[in-house]
A and B are shown apart, each in its own frame.
Chain A
Amino acid sequence: KQEVTQIPAALSVPEGENLVLNCSFTDSAIYNLQWFRQDPGKGLTSLLLIQSSQREQTSGRLNASLDKSSGRSTLYIAASQPGDSATYLCAGLSGGSYIPTFGRGTSLIVHP
């Protein structure tokens, strides 16, 4: 069974800092990994989806990487802004499964 861990659980940084959020998974036969953003009281907004055949995906200031051999994905946020404050969740889908498994998320605060 796929298990997903996110470290750190919470992070507070000053505006403008570059930062890295980590996601670890136990099943290296991962099919894809998706990063989401969740604002307080809201649903999940998809940020980036990385297929197992890919090593990274980029969207604006966000870059996500996937290393199947080490069981890790990272979300890199460049030049962080207060509007980036939210909880970031990763979800892994194992090969042969239909059901993505989520981590507990990293709560990010970017202060001016």
Chain B
Amino acid sequence: GAGVSQSPRYKVAKRGQDVALRCDPISGHVSLFWYQQALGQGPEFLTYFQNEAQLDKSGLPSDRFFAERPEGSVSTLKIQRTQQEDSAVYLCASSLGTGGRGYTFGSGTRLTVV
């Protein structure tokens, strides 16, 4: 596609519910990133994929967070047993190579846990 597409745009989850957030990167982009952005803060790194390989997941805040990119294109970020502190905007970005040409971000998914 022409840009990075994320769905859903908004998600309201009851505490304890599992959620799945989808990212469709620009076709052919090797690198894919997930970031979490709390209100009034900058994006915080969660995890990084190079093709289908998850090379870095050091930013995932707990084992309730899981991400995959099985075929090296679409990625899913799953959060199990959501808690109120998970409320944030989840941003996905992709890059043609490994970042030398910059990054393209999606519009994000705003998750609200009630």
Q: How far is the CA of A49 from the CA of B42 in the complex (A)?
A: 18
User: Chain A interface: which size bin?
Assistant: 20 to 34
Known contacts A44-B91, A103-B42, A104-B41, A98 near B108 by CB under 8 Å: no
- Assess whether B91 is in contact with A43, with CB atoms less than 8 Å apart: yes
Range class of the B interface residue count: 20 to 34
Q: DSSP majority for the A interface?
A: strand
Q: How far is the CB of B101 from chain A (nearest CB, A)?
A: 7
Task: Say yes or no: A46 contacts B42, CB within 8 Å.
Answer: no
- The answer on a CB contact under 8 Å between B102 and A98 is no
In the complex, how many angstroms separate the beta carbon of B67 from the nearest chain A beta carbon?
Answer: 14
Which candidate, B13-21, B43-51, B70-78, B79-87, is the interface stretch facing chain A? B43-51
A42 adjacent to chain B (CB < 8 Å)? yes
Find out whether the CB atom of B98 lies under 8 angstroms from the CB atom of A101: no
Distance (Å) between the CB of B38 and the closest chain A CB? 10
Asked if A43 and B101 sit within 8 Å, CB to CB, the answer is: no
- Taking the complex as formed, is A109 at the interface, i.e. its CB lies under 8 A from any CB of chain B? no
A45: nearest residue on chain B (CB-CB)?
A: B105
Nearest CB on B from A15, distance (A):
25
CB of A34 within 8 A of CB of B41, answer no
With both beta carbons as reference points, the residue of chain B lying nearest to A43 in the complex is identified as B107
| A63 within 8 Å of B (CB atoms) | no
Query: Which residues does chain B contribute within 8 Å of A100, judged by CB atoms?
Result: 33, 99, 103
A residues in contact with B44, CB < 8 Å: 102
Closest residue of chain A to B93 (Cβ to Cβ) is A44
List residues of chain A with CB within 8 A of the CB of B33.
99-100
Interface residues, chain A, with chain B CB atoms under 8 Å away: 4, 6, 31-32, 34, 36, 41-46, 49, 51, 89, 91, 93, 98-105
Q: List 8 A-B contacts (CB under 8 A).
A: A31-B99, A42-B107, A49-B101, A89-B43, A98-B31, A99-B48, A102-B35, A104-B42
Chain A to chain B: the 10 pairs with minimum beta-carbon distance, closest first: A102-B42, A43-B107, A44-B105, A49-B102, A104-B42, A43-B105, A43-B108, A102-B43, A93-B99, A34-B102
